[in-house]
């Protein structure tokens, strides 16, 4: 599957694509909660495609949220059984990343995170802040469009170019949520 290399206007199909991805994952994760005797394992739509009205790369970001670090190895094994290839944390502690299975229908990024850890909080804080704040949503969309030309030549520069704004938005979201502290550019 070819990695999308453009920033496009929000597409109302993105939440539907997420639901299809979640439906594929659910059978592999269904009994993880029973193993740990916890309420649930969540599969959450995070990232720009989870923010109505936000321009984005058409890549669905998905967090598999487990209750404890002890469940991470089991979640990794289950996702590998579903055809995903574990890639480690890719430089973001607390976030285990996966390459797509060969039969993926929609391009997506898949991560396993522990509920409440920094990587998970960054994803949720940024998503929820952008959902609630139109001015910051527009600032972020404008920055992504400004950098979009880099997607075909230097994706690292694209991500780095958004870093300071992402950190600012996460910090602002954390302050408004009572979290305080600086944000992290890896979100």
Q: What is the pLDDT of residue 182?
A: 37
Residue 1 lies in a domain: no
Give CA separation, 187 vs 9, 39, 72, 93, in Å. 21, 26, 19, 11
Query: What CATH number corresponds to the domain at position 119?
Result: 3.30.460.10
Candidates 129, 163, 144; CA nearest to 58 is 144
Task: Give residue 155's pLDDT band: very low, low, confident or very high (50, 70, 90).
Answer: very high
Give me the mean pLDDT over the 171-184 stretch.
64
In a domain, 9, yes or no: no
- Around Cβ 1, how many Cβ atoms within 10 Å? 12
Given a cut of 90, whether residue 57 has pLDDT beyond it is yes
Mean pLDDT calculated for residue range 62-81: 94
87-104 burial, b at 16+ Cβ within 10 Å, e below that, comes to eeeeebebbbbbebbeee
Average pLDDT of span 50-60? 97
Task: Report the percent of the chain where pLDDT is more than 70.
Answer: 90
Give the angle subtended at the CA of 56 by the CAs of 53 and 62, to the nearest 5°: 100
Alpha carbon 60 to its chain's center: 7
Q: With respect to residue 186, please indicate whether it lies within any of the assigned structural domains.
A: no
Across the range 66-78, mean pLDDT stands at 93
Q: Give domain status of residue 40, yes or no.
A: yes
118 assigned to some structural domain: yes
pLDDT score of 185: 39
Residue 187 located in a structural domain: no
pTM above 0.85, yes or no: yes
The chain-wide mean pLDDT, for the chain, equals 91
Q: How many domains does the chain have?
A: 1
**For residue 183, pLDDT beyond 60:** no
Residue of 120, 71, 68, 73 lying closest to 94 (CA atoms): 120
Higher pLDDT, 162 or 179: 162
**How many whole angstroms separate alpha carbon 90 and alpha carbon 110?**
12
For residue 2, what pLDDT is reported? 84
pLDDT digits (tens, 9 = 90+) for 105-154: 899 999 999 999 999 999 999 999 999 999 999 999 999 999 999 999 99
- What's the pLDDT band for 13 if we cut at 50, 70, 90? very high
Range of the domain at 81: 14-176
Segment 61-66 shows an average pLDDT of: 97
């Amino acid at each position: 599957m070819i990695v999308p290399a453009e920033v496009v206007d929000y597409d109302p199909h993105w939440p539907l694509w997420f639901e299809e991805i979640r439906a594929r994952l659910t059978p592999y994760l269904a009994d993880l909660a029973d193993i740990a005797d916890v309420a649930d394992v969540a599969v959450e739509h995070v990232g720009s495609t989870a923010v109505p009205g936000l321009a984005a790369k058409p890549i669905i970001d998905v967090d598999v949220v487990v209750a404890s670090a002890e469940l991470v190895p089991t979640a990794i094994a289950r996702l590998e059984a579903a055809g995903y290839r574990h890639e480690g944390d890719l430089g973001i502690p607390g976030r285990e990343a996966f390459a797509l299975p060969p039969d993926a229908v929609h391009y997506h990024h898949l991560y396993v995170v522990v509920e409440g850890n920094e990587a998970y909080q960054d994803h949720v804080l940024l998503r929820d802040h952008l959902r609630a704040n139109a001015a910051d949503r527009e600032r972020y969309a404008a920055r992504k469009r400004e950098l979009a030309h880099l997607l075909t030549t230097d994706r690292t520069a694209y991500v780095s170019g958004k870093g300071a704004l992402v950190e600012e938005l996460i910090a602002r979201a954390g302050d408004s949520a009572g979290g305080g502290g600086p944000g992290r550019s890896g979100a």
